[in-house]
Amino acid sequence: MKEYPYKERLLAAIIDSLLLAMINSIYLLPAVIFAIIPFVMQLALQSSVDPALVEAEGFVGSLLWLGMWILITFVLNIAIGVYWHVYRPSKNNGQTFGKGFMKVKVIKVDGSELTFTNLLVRYLAQLFLVQAISIFVYITIFIDDEKRAIYDFVSDTKVVRA
C-alpha cells in the first residue's frame, strides 16, 4: 500500500470538486434565474427610470427574495458539504466519492477508528483555513501604501485608476 498518495489525493479532490459543482448547479441555476436576475433587473429599472415612478415595495420585495435564495443556497451548501465530506466518509471507510474512485481514504494517524467527529473537525478546519487564507490575501491592501494585495507583490503588479 502506498503510504502518501499525493497524486491520487489531488485527483480525488478534483473529482469531488467537479461532482460538487454539478450538484451545486442544480440549485444555483434556479437561484440565478428566480432571484439574482429579477434583483438586477429591479436595480436597472431604478437607475433608468425616474425614482418616483419605481415602487419601493418592488425593490424591497426583490431584496427579500434575493435574501431568501442566498439563505437557501447557504444552508444547502453547508448540508451538502457536511454530507459529502463528513457523513458519507464516516459511513464509507473514510472515503468521499473521489477518494473511493481513486482508492484512497482518510484514516486516523494512530490507526484507531475514524469517527464522525474526526471528520467534522477535519472539514471545519479545512473551511476555516481556506477562508482565513482567502481573507489574508487581501489584508495587505489595507496595510500597503500602494494598496497592493499579496498576489500583486508576487506578480509585480498594482491596480490604478484607468
Quick check: 75 pLDDT over 80?
yes
- Count of Cβ atoms closer than 10 Å to residue 41 Cβ: 11
Which three cell numbers, joined as nine digits, stand for 162? 484607468
At residue 70, the pLDDT reads 82
At residue 137, the pLDDT reads 83
At residue 13, the pLDDT reads 93
For residue 96, give Cα distances in angstroms to 65, 86, 91, 135: 34, 9, 10, 27
At residue 4, the pLDDT reads 72
Query: Mind listing the pLDDT tens digit for each residue in 89-132?
Result: 999 999 999 999 999 999 999 988 899 999 999 999 998 998 88
Give dist(CA 117, CA 108) in Å, integer. Answer: 12
At residue 158, the pLDDT reads 86
Average pLDDT, the chain: 84
Query: Mind listing the pLDDT tens digit for each residue in 3-60?
Result: 778 899 999 999 999 999 999 888 878 777 776 777 676 666 665 555 554 555 555 6
